[in-house]
């Protein structure tokens, strides 16, 4: 009877899906009533050529436009990440001969070359194929697209020589950046009569540019050649393109210093980026001529070997953005600099600045919104910040005194990073004023005291809070529950005395929780509540506290870390990376491979658990084997008993395992030798027995990783295992299976309903920018706190 009911439910579910699909398709047919049926069929066929699980029917057809008279598809713009697979030459896409605009960017066509059949779509005016993973050369048939005005092939893996574009006489925008195209820039390229934007940055281009004859009138407005290997002789010709408003020549690997006066003829220039090149000292001399256009708005000179503050900036009254980071500038920032009327984004990080000219009010009336002072030698009291301040990064300096209360009058503040300084006093209560703007607060490694204030009101947008390495006391403020967007919480190395914050599980996005080295106490598993139910937790750091008790077998069943997926570039960074003007990066200490290491750019595609230095007892939960993204597990210095879980062999990504100084018994599971990424393993000072598994990753560990276990033998220990002529006694396979079944019993009980639904659903499915202000990586001070 139960089987019949289950069969009925499955049939009902399939029927519902079928009916829903029919209604969806009918709705789409009505929506695309202006399109010919054969054109709609081609579009459906094109979608079916790929894995399109991330692309629902409605989204797919949103970007379709057909001609009202002929019914032919003229525009196709797919949503990002819609298709995965190989774009084949016989694709039904190439039957849409009337396309004028085709946008296929941000799909996954890895291992596909660009089919030559694109050349048959000779009515195309717009072709965007960026961020698709295309490989190989650009086909010569691209030159057939004589109507093309916009061509974007950026961020692929294209190789070979420069594509043949000389026949594309209507081309206005050409983007080939971030590929592997090599050779010279063809002389015919800049003779295209309508070319206004040319982006070739991030390739392997060499040589120089030929200047057209004097009768040629250039229309070029934007030229980007950054990160290539072009010759110094390229600078002279570029200076003749007087229509340029945007010029990016960063990191050209030119051996000779660049003289800024070369660009004085570019009277229309608004944006100039020369970062990563050496600049001639004459550019900063006391000559009467200003080396750059007075109307310049954005100037990036990061890493140019500058040793003195560029005084010519005084004349650039329209300057909005300046980046002189990563240079060798010493002394004080001049007072006149802050009086530039339109100054908005300033990054002077990673120099040797020691202070500010003028009074403590020198910054107050500045128009600066984003201010990056990090990695300098600023000392003394921090000046009153600008009224317009949106982001302040001053980490890794030597500022002293209290955090200025005037900062609370900056109503638009969204990110505050004062970490790695010598601030004293308490955390200002007035930070509560920023609940509608503040997303990141980092006060790490200062000398702040008192309690973490209970100031987080309903509606707070806070995503990241780091107050680690201070002298804070008291308890965690319960008002943190109002921070529904919180992803990162780090209070490590303070004196906070509290119980484990089970209540934080109500935060839907919390991914990193670090309570390391405080005075937290009590159990981390409540009796009768089963698994640790933090919905998104990836990193749990609670070492060196006074936590006690045992963990139930199903403790890790509901962890998100069992099913993490990377994004397109293989990383998921914490912090606010949606802001085009700055990056904020979270930092945490990880005890990894036996060492404490500080990690900037916290990656959340992995999982890390550190429960070391507490008083946990009982068995290690078998459910730990569900955490497929786990790269580091540290349970050392506790009182765990029983066997090492066999399920650890399922952690194929595991790189660091520390189970030392417990009371574990039995043998080391043979499956651990299959963990090919395991670089560090320590099981010393337990009660383990038997032969150490003989795998490269294990026998390559030092002897100290196994010492303190009187019953262990085999490499890398000196004592060999006593062998007889009889074959070694092995646990029967059936008993092994039964043991594993029993060990996983608690896990299975919790997973069966979801598993059954997942199998059913699976069966159904089977049927059918400029980086102007970037926080620098690396922290050079206060490592020995």
| Cis status, amide bond into 624, omega within 30 of 0 | no
The pLDDT of residue 230: 85
In this predicted structure, the answer to whether residue 214 has a pLDDT above a threshold of 70 is no
Strands 587-592 and 595-600: what pairing? Answer: antiparallel
Q: How many CB atoms lie within 10 A of CB 656?
A: 23
Instruction: Please tell me whether residue 547 adopts helix, strand or coil conformation.
Output: strand
Please tell me the predicted confidence (pLDDT) of residue 697.
Answer: 83
Q: Give the integer Cα–Cα distance in Å for 727 and 394.
A: 67
**pLDDT over threshold 80, residue 19:** no
CB 678 within 8 A of CB 657: yes
Per-domain residue ranges of the chain: 9-165+175-180, 464-721
- pLDDT, position 700: 87
> Tens of pLDDT along 733-759?
433 433 443 344 333 333 333 333 333
In 10 A of CB 722, how many CB atoms? Answer: 7
Please check whether the domain covering 464-721 is classified as CATH 3.80.10.10: yes
Angle between helices 2-31 and 745-765 (to 10 degrees): 40
Tell me, letter by letter, the H, E, C secondary structure of 213-282: CCCCCCCCCEEECCCCEECHHHHHHHCCCCCCCEEECCCCCCCCCECHHHHCCCCCCCEEECCCCCECHH
693-705 as b/e: b if 16+ CB within 10 A: bebebbeebeeeb
CA distance 261 to 324: 18
Return the pLDDT at 729.
39
Contact 776, 375 (CB under 8 A): yes
Distance between start and end Cα atoms, the chain:
68
Instruction: Give CA separation, 548 vs 590, 613, 632, in Å.
Output: 22, 11, 21
Q: What SS3 class is residue 82?
A: coil
pLDDT of amino acid 290: 73
Is residue 446 within 8 Å of residue 423, measured between CB atoms? Answer: yes
**Signed CA dihedral, 562, 565, 570, 575: sign only:** negative
pLDDT digits (tens, 9 = 90+) for 122-151: 999 999 999 999 999 999 999 999 999 999
Q: What is the pLDDT of residues 533-574, one digit of tens each?
A: 787 888 899 999 999 999 999 898 887 655 444 333 333 233
Per residue in 579-588, pLDDT tens?
Answer: 445 555 555 5
Angle, to 10 degrees, between the axis of helix 733-743 and the axis of helix 745-765?
Answer: 90
CA-CA distance, 769 to 645, in Å (whole number)? Answer: 48
CA-CA distance, 596 to 346, in Å (whole number)? 34
Q: Quick one: tokens of 214?
A: 């004097």
* Least confident segment among 44-53, 402-411, 699-708, 725-734: 725-734
pLDDT in the model for residue 14: 40
Q: Which pair of structure tokens corresponds to residue 765?
A: 């499915």
Cβ atoms 472, 491 nearer than 8 A = yes
Q: What fold, for 9-165+175-180? A: 3.80.10
In angstroms, the Cα distances linking 353 to 28, 323, 366, 420, 477 are 62, 14, 19, 16, 37
The per-residue pLDDT for range 368-393, each reduced to its tens digit, is 999 999 999 999 999 999 999 999 99
Give the separation between CA 179 and CA 159, rounded to whole angstroms: 7
Assess whether the region 9-165+175-180 and the region 464-721 belong to the same CATH fold. Answer: yes
Q: Are 675 and 650 in contact (CB under 8 A)?
A: no
Q: What is the pTM (predicted TM-score) of this model? A: 0.81
């Amino acid at each position: 009877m139960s089987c019949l009911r289950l069969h009925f439910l499955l049939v009902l579910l399939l029927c519902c899906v079928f009916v829903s699909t029919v209604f969806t398709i009918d709705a789409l047919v009505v929506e695309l009533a202006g399109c010919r049926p054969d054109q709609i069929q081609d579009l459906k066929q094109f979608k079916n050529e790929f894995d399109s699980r991330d692309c629902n029917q409605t989204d797919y057809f949103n970007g379709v436009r057909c001609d009202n008279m002929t019914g032919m598809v003229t525009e196709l713009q797919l949503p990002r990440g819609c298709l995965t697979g190989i774009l084949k030459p016989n694709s039904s896409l190439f039957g849409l001969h009337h396309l004028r605009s085709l946008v296929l960017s941000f799909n996954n066509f890895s291992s596909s070359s660009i089919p030559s059949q694109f050349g048959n779509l000779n009515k195309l005016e717009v072709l965007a194929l960026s961020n698709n993973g295309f490989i190989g050369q650009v086909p010569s048939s691209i030159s057939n697209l004589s109507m093309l005005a916009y061509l974007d092939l950026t961020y692929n893996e294209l190789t070979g020589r420069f594509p043949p574009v000389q026949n594309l006489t209507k081309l206005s925008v050409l983007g080939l950046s971030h590929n592997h195209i090599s050779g010279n820039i063809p002389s015919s390229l800049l003779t295209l009569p309508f070319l206004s934007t040319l982006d070739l940055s991030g390739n392997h281009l060499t040589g120089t540019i030929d200047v057209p004859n004097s009768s040629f009138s250039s229309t070029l407005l934007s030229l980007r050649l950054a990160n290539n290997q072009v010759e110094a002789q390229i600078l002279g010709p570029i200076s003749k393109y007087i229509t340029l408003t945007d010029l990016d020549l960063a990191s050209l690997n030119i051996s000779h210093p660049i003289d800024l006066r070369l660009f004085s003829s570019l009277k229309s220039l608004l944006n100039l980026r020369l970062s990563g090149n050496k600049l001639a000292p004459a550019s900063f001399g006391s000559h009467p001529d200003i080396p750059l256009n007075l109307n310049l708005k954005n100037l990036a000179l990061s890493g140019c070997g500058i040793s003195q503050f560029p005084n010519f900036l005084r004349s650039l009254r329209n300057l909005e953005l300046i980046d002189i980071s990563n240079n060798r500038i010493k002394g004080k920032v001049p007072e006149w600099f802050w009086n530039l009327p339109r100054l908005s984004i300033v990054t002077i990080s990673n120099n040797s600045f020691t202070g500010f000219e003028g009074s403590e009010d020198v910054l107050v009336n500045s128009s600066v919104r984003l201010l990056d002072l990090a990695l300098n030698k600023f000392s003394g009291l921090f000046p009153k910040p600008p009224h317009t301040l949106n982001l302040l990064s001053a980490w890794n300096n030597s500022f002293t005194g209290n955090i200025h209360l005037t900062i609370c009058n900056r109503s638009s503040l969204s990110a505050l990073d004062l970490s790695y300084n010598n601030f004293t006093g308490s955390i200002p209560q007035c930070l509560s004023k920023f609940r509608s703007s503040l997303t990141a607060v980092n006060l790490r490694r200062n000398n702040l005291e008192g309690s973490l204030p209970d100031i987080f009101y309903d509606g707070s947008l806070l995503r990241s809070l780091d107050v680690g390495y201070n002298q804070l006391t008291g308890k965690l403020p319960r008002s943190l529950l109002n921070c529904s967007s919180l992803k990162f919480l780090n209070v490590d190395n303070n004196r906070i005395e509290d119980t484990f914050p089970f209540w934080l599980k109500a935060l839907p996005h919390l991914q990193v929780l670090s309570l390391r080295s405080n005075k937290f106490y009590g159990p981390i598993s409540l009796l009768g509540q089963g698994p640790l139910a933090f919905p998104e937790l990836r990193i749990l750091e609670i070492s060196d506290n006074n936590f006690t008790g045992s963990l139930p077998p199903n403790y890790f069943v509901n962890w998100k870390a069992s099913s993490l997926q990377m994004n397109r570039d293989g990383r998921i960074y914490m912090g606010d990376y949606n802001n085009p003007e700055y990056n904020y990066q979270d930092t945490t200490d990880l005890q990894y491979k036996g060492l404490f290491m500080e990690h900037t750019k916290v990656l959340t595609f992995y999982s890390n658990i550190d429960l070391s230095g507490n008083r946990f007892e009982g068995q290690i939960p078998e459910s730990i084997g569900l955490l497929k993204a786990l790269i580091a597990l540290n349970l050392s210095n506790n009182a765990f008993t029983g066997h090492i879980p066999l399920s650890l062999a399922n952690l194929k990504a595991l790189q660091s395992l520390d189970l030392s100084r417990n009371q574990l018994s039995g043998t080391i599971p043979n499956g651990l030798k299959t963990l090919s990424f395991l670089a560090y393993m320590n099981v010393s000072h337990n009660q383990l027995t038997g032969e150490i598994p003989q795998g490269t990753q294990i026998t390559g560990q030092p002897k100290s990783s196994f010492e303190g276990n009187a019953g262990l033998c085999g490499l890398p220990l000196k004592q060999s295992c006593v062998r007889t002529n009889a074959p070694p006694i092995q646990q029967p396979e059936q008993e092994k299976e039964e043991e594993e079944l029993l060990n996983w019993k608690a896990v299975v009980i919790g997973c069966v309903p979801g598993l059954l639904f997942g199998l059913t659903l699976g069966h159904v499915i089977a049927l059918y920018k400029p980086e102007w202000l970037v926080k620098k990586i690396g922290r050079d001070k206060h490592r020995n706190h």
